[in-house]
Amino acid sequence: MALQVQTAYNAFGRLKRDISDVPLATFNEWADFVNKFAYRKLISVDPERFLSSTTFTVSTHPQTESLPADFKNVLPLGAGFFVRDSNGDDTERELARTGFGSNTPGYYITGTNVVFTGMDSETIVLRYIPTQAQIDDLTDYFTVDTLVGGVEIILEEYLEYAVKAIDVLYTQWDDDVSSESFADARFVRILSEMIDNFRKDPDVYGIYDFTNNY
């Protein structure tokens, strides 16, 4: 289950013994920083856990469509624009990135839109990494949307990671220069452990067949 910010607050208070001088807004901002940092790291470790999808119907050339409001990127393996065949089945055929004026089947992103090129009748499935909601309350969770049922980023079992990461920010805020390097070393060690154990399956990947793209 995802970790709640309140749980991290309580644990951090036990570690430091007294955090009554830390404004709640400041602590929530630290929690948001920690959540977003972990998300950026873990996207590349297990992207399938975070991918969202949407569908486009392309019927002309070129065709401009709005990207999802929560679109972040299509950088990890498994993300991208994929062709759905005439039977309605998803395929491994991924669109190549093209550019303005291109007649080659593909796409290019411009601002908040995607432009499909060189196609007249295709159904395209976009698999993408979504942006995160902002943590701003102790009742929020370390998930993509900060809700209890959202996609988990920091699990309860990694409470120590959240505490150690927040401690790095706390030592900076508290102007405790002598403790910063120690806090950072502890944080890096527990971050490595979380990354090493985050995936649920072996760290191997299939290779997509791109021969039909050209």
Per-residue pLDDT tens digits for 145-193: 999 999 999 999 999 999 999 999 999 998 888 888 889 899 999 888 8
The structure tokens listed for 42 are: 């873990």
- Tell me: the pLDDT tens digits for 66-99? 999 999 999 998 999 999 998 989 999 999 999 9
Q: List all residues 6 or more positions away from 103 whose beta carbon is below 8 Å from its beta carbon.
A: 61, 117, 118
Q: List all residues 6 or more positions away from 10 whose beta carbon is below 8 Å from its beta carbon.
A: none
The structure tokens listed for 183 are: 């806090």
What's the rounded Cα separation, in Å, for the pair 99 and 104?
9
DSSP E strand boundaries for the chain? 52-58, 63-66, 71-73, 80-84, 90-94, 96-97, 106-110, 113-117, 122-130
Where exactly are the structural domains of the chain? 5-46+132-196, 49-131
Measured CA distances, 114 to 24, 62, 76, 82 (Å): 40, 10, 18, 14
What's the rounded Cα separation, in Å, for the pair 7 and 207?
41
Q: List all residues 6 or more positions away from 126 whose beta carbon is below 8 Å from its beta carbon.
A: 53, 54, 55, 56, 67, 68, 74, 80, 81, 82, 114
Which region among 62-66, 75-79, 139-143, 144-148 has the lowest average model confidence (pLDDT)? 75-79
Task: Supply the pTM of this predicted model.
Answer: 0.86
Q: List all residues 6 or more positions away from 93 whose beta carbon is below 8 Å from its beta carbon.
A: 82, 83, 212, 213
The pLDDT score that the predictor gives to residue 123 is 96
What's the chain's average pLDDT? 92
Which region among 125-134, 137-146, 155-164, 188-197 has the lowest average model confidence (pLDDT)? 188-197
Q: What is the mean pLDDT of residues 131-145?
A: 97
